Structure 1
Amino acid sequence: MTAATPPPLSPPPGSADRLPTAAPAPAPTTLPAGPVTSAWAGDVPRLAARGLIKRFGETTALAGVEVEIPDGASLAVMGPSGSGKSTLLHCLAGIYQPDAGVVALRGREVQGLSEKERSLLRRSQYGFVFQFGQLLSELTALENVALPAMLTGASRVEAETAAQQWLAALGLAGTEGRRPGELSGGQAQRVAVARALTTRPDVVFADEPTGSLDRSTGHDVMRVLVESTRAVGASLVVVTHDAQVAAWCDARIDMLDGRVVPAGTTTGGGVGPRTGELEAIRAAAVPR
C-alpha cells in the first residue's frame, strides 16, 4: 500500500473537545491464516480483506484483492470507473457477499454472517457517507442525524441530544431544523458525516464524498471527514477517482480491472498526485 502524505489538519478552536470520545475497543481475535500483501502488518487490523473475488455474470469485478486498515487509519481506494473500487467498498461493508475470500472486522469474518446479522452490523458498527449525501428529504438535519441511533435502540431524546452535539461539533449549529433542500452542498455532506458518526462506528465508508461539490467545498468536507473519524477512533475507507481527495488519507491503493496495482499506474482519474497538487491542498487547508 502506498502511503500518501496528508495535508496539515487544523480543526476549529474547541471543535475536537466537543467530539464524543471513542468507546474502548474490544480485544481482537486472530485473523485466519493467509498471505498479507498490505503495508500494514503485525497487530490484527480493524478491517481486513484477503483474496476477495466478486463476479457479476461473466464480469470479474474483484480478482483476489487484499487490503488491511489499522485502528483509526484512513485509506483511499482510487481507480477509474469500472476498476472495482466501489465493489470493494460494498464487499468490505457487508453489502455484497464475495464469491471467495475473507472480510474480517476485528478478526471476525463478515461474509459468514446472515443477512440479518450483516444488516445489524451496517447499522451499528459501520457508518456511510455517499456522493449525494442521501439524506432523507422529509426529515430535518437533526432528525437525519438522530435516526441511526434510534434504529439501534436509543430513545428519541437521547438520539436527538447526541445529534445536536454532533451537528454543533461539525460547525452546523443553527441548522438543526432545516431539511436537506434548505442546506448547501457542503452543509448537507457535513450532516451526512454527523449521521455516519452518531453510532460510534468501527469503520466509516465514504463513496465519492466530494464528487458533487466544488473543489473548495470538497476540501472542507474531506478535512471534516478525516478529522472527525480520527477524533473518535474510527477507521475510514474513501473511494475516489480524485488524487487530491486521496491525499487527505493516511494511505492509498490503486485499482485496475479488479486488482490492486502500483500507485500511479492506473489511467485517467486513477493517476497519482501531480507536481504541486499536494502543496495546493495543504495551502487550502490553512485557516484564513
Structure 2
Amino acid sequence: MSDTTPVTSAWAGAVPRLAARGLVHRFGDTSALAGVDVDLADGESLAVMGPSGSGKSTLLHVLAGILVPTSGTVALRGLEVQALSEKERSLLRRRRYGFVFQLGQLLSELSALENVALPAMLTGASRADAQASAGQWLAALGLAGAEGRRPGELSGGQAQRVAVARALITRPEVVFADEPTGSLDQATGHDVMQVLRDATRAVGASLVVVTHDADVAAWCDRRIDVRDGRVVAPGSTTGGGAGPRPGERDAGVLPAHLGAARVADVFGAGGAR
C-alpha cells in the first residue's frame, strides 16, 4: 500500500447511520465548511484527516450537534439533528453519542469511577448502577484498581482510557473522538487507538476520529481528507501511516458488558457540575 492510498471501506453502499448533506458553516466572514457530504454506516470507523484549520473539527462539532450548520442537514437514522432545539440536541448527545477529547477533559474533582459514571447518571441511572457499570468498563479497559484515582493521579494513557470508558458507558450509536492521541507519545497513542477501536466495535457503535496524524487515521475503516472546508482527494493533505502493528487490526475485541469541545458543551448546562 502506498503512503497516499486510503483505507477502503467494507461498508460501501450500506444504509448510513449518520448522513450529512451540503454542510456549510461560517464564523462571521470565515467559511469553515464549504459544502461537505458525509455518510457513516453502522459499526463503521471513519477518520477525518486534515491540517490545522482545515475544518475537520468544525465538521465533527456539526455532526455531533454541538454546532448548528449555517446550511445543510445532519440526520441520525433519519432524525434531523440541526432541526432540534438546543435542549433536544443536548439530550441527544447524552443518550446517543459518546465523546473522547484530545486532553481527556476529565473532571478533576471526580475520581476515575465517578467520571465514567457521570453520563449514565445524567441519563437517569442510579448512582449505584452507574458506578457498577463504570467499574466494569474500567476493568475491561485495563484500569482495575484505578477507580478511586483522580485525573491528576493518572498517566496520559490511563486518562484517555477513562475517557473512552466514559464515552461508551451509555452504549452510544456514534462515538466522536477529536485528536484522541494528540497529547500522547507514539506508543501510548497506539495503545489508546487500539482500545478505542476495539471498544466501539464491542458495543456496535460507529466511530468518527478527527486527526492530522496518518498513523491514527490508518486504524479506521475509511478516511476522508478535508482542506479549506471541503472534502478533497484522499491523501492530498498528508501521507498515509503505518497504523496497527502486523496482526493487530482485528485483535482484542473486548467483551460486550465508553479536543476542542468542552465537557459542558456535550453534557449540557449541568454536565460539568
Into which bin does the TM-score normalised by the smaller protein fall? Answer: 0.7 to 0.9
Alignment of structure 1 residues 232-271 onto 2, 5 Å: 232-266=203-237, 271=238
CA 1:42–1:233: 2 relative to 1, 3 Å: closer
Unaligned 5+ residue runs, structure 1? 7-38
C-alpha contact 2:115 2:166 (8 A) present in aligned 1: yes
Q: Secondary structure at the match of 1:142?
A: helix
In angstroms, what is the RMSD of aligned CA positions? Answer: 1.7
Secondary structure of the 1:189 match is helix
**d(CA) in 2 for partners of 1:163, 1:284:** 30
Q: CA deviation at 1:284?
A: 9.2
Change (3 A) 1:42 1:218: closer
| Residues 134-153 of structure 1: pairs in structure 2 closer than 5 A | 134-153=105-124
Residue in 2 that maps onto 1:4:
7
Match of 1:156 among 122, 127, 148: 127
Deviations 1:16-64 (A, max 9, x none): xxxxxxxxxxxxxxxxxxxxxxx84352x11110000001111110011
Aligned to 1:41: 13
Counterparts of residues 45-60 of structure 1 (less than 5 Å): 45-60=16-31
Q: 1:201 aligns with which of 172, 177, 202?
A: 172
Q: Does the 8 A contact of 2:138 with 2:165 survive in 1? A: yes
Secondary structure of 1:61's partner?
A: strand
Q: Which among 142, 154, 158 is matched to residue 187 of structure 1?
A: 158
- Counterpart position of 1:272: 239
> In structure 1, what residue type is equivalent to 2:7?
A
State the Cα deviation string for residues 213-241 of structure 1 (Å, max 9, x = none): 00000000000000000111000000000
User: 2:245 aligned with 1:282, yes or no?
Assistant: yes
3-state SS of paired residue (1:46) = strand
Are the aligned partners of 2:6 and 2:235 in contact in 1 as well (CA < 8 Å)?
no
Cα deviation 1:237-283 (Å, max 9, x = unaligned):
000000000000000000000000011112xxxx1215xx34xx424
Distance in 2 (CA, whole Å) between partners of 1:94 and 1:178 is 32
Matches within 5 A, 1:5-24: none
Shift in Å, 1:175: 0.3
Which 5+ residue runs of structure 2 have no aligned equivalent?
252-273
- CA distance in 2 between partners of 1:100 and 1:253 (Å): 21
| 1:85 partner letter | K
- In the TM superposition, what whole-angstrom CA distance separates every residue of 1:171-224 from its partner, at most 9, and x where no partner exists? 110000000011110000000000000111110000000000000000000000
Q: Secondary structure at the match of 1:111?
A: helix
Aligned to 1:17: none
Q: Percent sequence identity over matched residues?
A: 75
1:82-127 alpha-carbon deviations (Å, 9 max, x no partner):
1000000000000000011110001111000000000000111110
Q: Provide TM-score, normalisation by structure 2.
A: 0.86
Instruction: State the SS of the aligned residue for 2:60.
Output: helix
Give TM-score, length-normalised by structure 1.
0.82
The amino acid across from 2:245 in the alignment is R
SS in 2 for 1:122: helix
Q: Secondary structure of the equivalent of 1:167?
A: helix
> Displacement, 1:3?
4.6
